[in-house]
Amino acid sequence: MKQIYNNFIFFGAVHQDFVFELKNHLIKFRTNPVKHYESFGGVAHNVAKVIACKEKVSLVSINSDIETINYLKKNNINFFTFNKKIQKRYYAVLLNKFKELQLGIANTDAYEQCTVKSINFRLREKHVIIDLNFSEILTKKIIEKYYKNNRIIICGTSPFKINKIKSYLNKIDCLILNKEELFKLTNIRDIHKSIKYIIKKNPIINLVVSDGSNKTYGYELSKFISVKPPKIKVLNENGAGDAMAGSYIYYRYKNLSLEKSLSLGVATGTVHAKSKKNTKFKEVDIKKIINKTKIQKEDLNV
């Protein structure tokens, strides 16, 4: 049994992200010239990297090459593996010439195919953050093993994966989703009604729902608010939601208020979206954005 001492422990994906930005308008069935960027990605990694700027964290995933492990170490992320075999996996996005997302593709079967007989990590009073790249069986194993003595935090990952946790809502402390993940989870295409559906399943859940550049909603113990980001020129949409989630998780579980934590999360996601590349966020830039956000109380019965 391995003891992990860090306060934030992640279970999920780390792999290469590829961004292809069209130089011209897309011409179907033709070779299109692009600009090409590479970086490390994966939802668990993206969220962990934000918190790792504040304190050391741990990431549990399938085995990775030495380059990835060294990169994680340099970025204050302790790496643990479920298996020995190193398997290829990646995520790629296509942007148009205006840097707007056109298509995302993922080769992440390696996570789904990972089988674990037993989970040998000793965790107590930790923040256990899970993305949904692992199989439903393994995801449920992790939740069942740790929910009684730890905080379980779920980052939505994809509308195609969100149903893995539908029967486990009562064992989740914090759930962070985008609008489409929320709708897929509840089968209700209305943010307010969908949130009410989840609250009925778990009245004490802390819930965050992002509606992109419109608003991000936060619910906790009958308090329902939203934060509206300022209008910006988007240069890097890929990973902005993960940056928001990482900042929110860190500050909320450092006991900042729901309002303050959500404002910091939205500001961090906004700074990411207006930056050309995935860089470390400067506190001064985040504070500038916070001053331009708008917080308001929401009525859940609308």
Q: Give the DSSP letter string of 143-203.
A: HHHHTTTSEEEEE---TTTGGGGGGGGGG-SEEEEEHHHHHHHHT---HHHHHHHHHHH-T
> In this structure, what DSSP letter does residue 263 have?
H
**Residue 2 pLDDT exceeds 80:** yes
In a domain, 119, yes or no: no
In a domain, 248, yes or no: yes
Q: How far is CA 80 from CA 11, 146, 248, in A?
A: 9, 17, 24
| pLDDT the model gives residue 160 | 95
In a domain, 282, yes or no: yes
In a domain, 1, yes or no: no
In a domain, 200, yes or no: yes
Cα of 125 vs its chain's centroid, Å: 21
| pLDDT the model gives residue 98 | 86
In a domain, 54, yes or no: no
Query: In terms of residue numbers, what domain contains 252?
Result: 173-302
Kindly report, residue by residue over 150-199, the tens digit of the pLDDT.
999 999 999 999 999 999 999 999 999 999 999 999 999 999 999 999 99
Kindly report, residue by residue over 64-95, the tens digit of the pLDDT.
999 999 999 999 999 999 999 999 999 999 99
- Quickly state the pLDDT bin for 239 (edges 50, 70, 90): confident
- Quickly state the pLDDT bin for 119 (edges 50, 70, 90): very high
| pLDDT the model gives residue 278 | 61
Residue whose structure tokens are 């300022």:
230
In a domain, 181, yes or no: yes
Give burial (CB, 10 Å; 0-12/13-18/19+) of 45. Answer: buried
Specify the number of domains making up the chain: 1
In a domain, 107, yes or no: no
Average pLDDT over residues 99-123: 92
pTM to 2 decimals? 0.94
Which residue, 183, 109, 118, 153, is CA-closest to 7?
153
Query: What whole-number percentage of the chain has pLDDT above 70?
Result: 98
**Residue 279 pLDDT exceeds 70:** no
Specify the CATH number for the domain of residue 208: 3.40.1190.20
| pLDDT the model gives residue 99 | 82
